[in-house]
A and B are shown apart, each in its own frame.
Chain A
Amino acid sequence: MDYTFQYGQVWPYLPYMIKGAWLSLQIAFLAFCGGMLIGTVCAAVKTFGGGFSRHAVNAYVVFFVNTPQLVQIYFLYFALPDLGIFLSSYMAVLLGMTLNAGAYLTEIQRAGFESRRQSEMEAAEVLGFSRLQQIRYVILPHVAKVLFPPLSNHYILMTLGTSMAAIFGVEELTGRAFNINSETFRSLEVFSIVAVIYVFVTLFASVALALFGRFAFRTKMRVV
């Protein structure tokens, strides 16, 4: 192998890459928030809702869970213009990731809802708790504890999922890697540094979430 590594050419781009990482996190965060909203509503519909709305939500979830996020974004970015809807690459990615996340988070939250314990609710009812109080003091704490690990895990996955935004020209971490690559042609150096940044970012997120989980919910989550 004749390749000589020249990291020296790539190090100067580090701040540029870090800013890209920050954008990745933002996209993941926004999509996660949007997904949570969709997820909560849809999970509630699936658990408590009537026939038609349940089927509709089911169709949405089943479709988005069984197709790749990349192709979903392709569709939004390239097909919607034919209907007169022009989304920027950033918006297409964000919308695609949000819809995708919404489907997965619906399932996660539904499992969480269904973990509510009938006996605890009856005990609360007998003690005179109103419905709202039951939800706040009995159901929510337990459900939140059950939901925290899978939600944290999915968030980490979404952070990695932002990388495909590069394909659409969004300048998050991977996108910037492609930019640096086309300027310096130091491909292995760039992508290896970017890979390590992803590892550190997700490790940091995992540790932070695990610590928070241990503190807030006393769940023991493993990081590594």
Chain B
Amino acid sequence: MGSFFGELWSLATYHNILFLAKGALTTIALSAFGCILGGLFGTLLAVARLTSGWLSWPLRAFALLFTEFFRRVPFLVTLMLCFFAFQFGGFDVSTLTVGCVTVVLIGTAFLAEIVRAGLQSVHPNQWHAAEAMNFTLLQTIRYVILPQAWTVILPPAFGFFILFIKDSALASQIGVVELTYVGKVFNNRGFSAGVSFGVILLAYFMLSYPLSRLGAKLEKKLGTSRTR
């Protein structure tokens, strides 16, 4: 046990701590990037699924297929598909780019579902009133539905962000320098697996736990404000 702390001490060099911080930053950035762009595209997909009329049928079908596909394929497989798509497509991009594209694809699919559930949680009466006053679908969503839906959307969306931080660990497999990759590097440099991965587990914990407490507070606040 003494050697554990001894190793820990020798791990804690300025250089290593910086490296660890970089990994943590990349991990958060990946998840945030996936959630922000995923939120944007996901909202578009959610709105697309709400259109009616046979002209927009391909749009609805695409939205449905995209959402279902990327929610039902494991992160690792999507990552590999992106990796090889870029490689065989002849694009010489960084592994970080591949990771970013992957998280946006997956984030879009999951957030599309969350947004859709939120939009549908608004009482049909609100939709009817807007329709009777000649609002277009986009106007209805923009001025009436979305302002009311976001309190329903935000808690699960934030929860997904926290979940995504852990899922992004798989990006290490193509060499993205995020937290898990840092752990593997430490291990390769000679530190024992217990210390290397123990530190990484702790790092993830310190990212995830405060955020989940924040999420719980957010949920409480939004839950009560909804019954304003």
Contacts and interface: CB of A to CB of B under 8 A. Distances in A.
Interface residues of B, number: 40
B194 A198 contact: no
A224 B68 contact: yes
B74 A72 contact: no
Interface in A59-113: 62-63, 65-72, 74-75, 78-79, 81-83
A40 B184 CA distance: 34
B74 A1 contact: no
A164 interface: yes
A198 B77 contact: yes
Interface stretch (A29-37, A125-133, A189-197): A189-197
| Residue among B184, B193, B200 with the highest chain A CB neighbour number at 10 A | B193
Contacts of B80: 177, 187, 191
A72 B166 CA distance: 11
Contacts of B69: 195, 199
B72 A160 contact: yes
Contact of A74 (B76, B77, B85, B183): B183
Contacts of B205: 63, 66-67
Contact of B197 (A62, A66, A79, A194): A79
A74 B194 contact: no
Contacts of B85: 188
| Residue among A65, A161, A177 with the highest chain B CB neighbour number at 10 A | A65
A163 B208 contact: no
Nearest to A188: B84
Interface stretch (B11-19, B131-139, B167-175): B167-175
Nearest to B162: A66
Contacts of B74: 160-164, 174, 198
B84 A66 contact: no
A66 B209 contact: yes
Given A1-B90, A75-B193, A192-B81, A66 B76 contact: no
Given A162-B74, A195-B73, 4 more contacts: A70-B169, A74-B180, A163-B74, A187-B87
List of 4 A-B pairs having minimum Cβ-Cβ separation, nearest first: A78-B193, A163-B74, A187-B84, A66-B208
12 contacts: A1-B88, A65-B208, A70-B169, A70-B172, A74-B193, A78-B187, A78-B197, A82-B193, A188-B81, A195-B73, A198-B74, A199-B73
